[in-house]
Amino acid sequence: MLHAAPADELVRGFKYRGWTALAPLMARLMAEPAVRLSGSGNNVLVPVPLDPARLRRRGFNQAALLARELSLVTGFRCEDVLGRRSASRRQAQLGRDDRIDNVRSAFHWRGDLQWAAARIIVVDDVLTTGATAAACARVIAEAGYECRGVVTFARALHRPDEF
């Protein structure tokens, strides 16, 4: 899997080398797509959660950092209402079908939004196959909320032989 430069290095540095100071810049670049996804009413940014073990190892959830910074730029609320059931294999090491299976039941609703008509935008760092975003959207819909879509900093590019 490839990301176009310089996004590839920014994502790797942010996620794996702790370059968290990049979050405000990345969020500013994500703001326009987030606003386009939003509707009138109560827009809520919801970060993709990490499993507790990965969060302890990394020390931060990159999606949560981006969502908080994006909240400052857009004025949308940010809520951690999704949880991760268990550790799953790293998505970066898996093919398309394995990615879908890996996150099929990984997420659950753990929050209570104060706005019944909240419009949710899922926030993550990279969109690859969309398996994580789809799994999160399914949980959001099952909780009775509208998922407007997903906003990410980067989109993975694929070689023709990958999928």
pLDDT digits (tens, 9 = 90+) for 83-126: 998 756 565 565 656 666 767 788 999 877 777 778 999 999 99
Domains of the chain, residue spans: 7-155
- Contact between residue 82 and residue 113 where contact means Cβ atoms under 8 Å apart: no
Which pTM was predicted? 0.86
**Percentage of the chain lying above the pLDDT 70 cut:** 82
Say which CATH architecture domain 7-155 belongs to.
3-Layer(aba) Sandwich (3.40)
Q: What is the pLDDT of residues 40-49, one digit of tens each?
A: 878 999 999 9
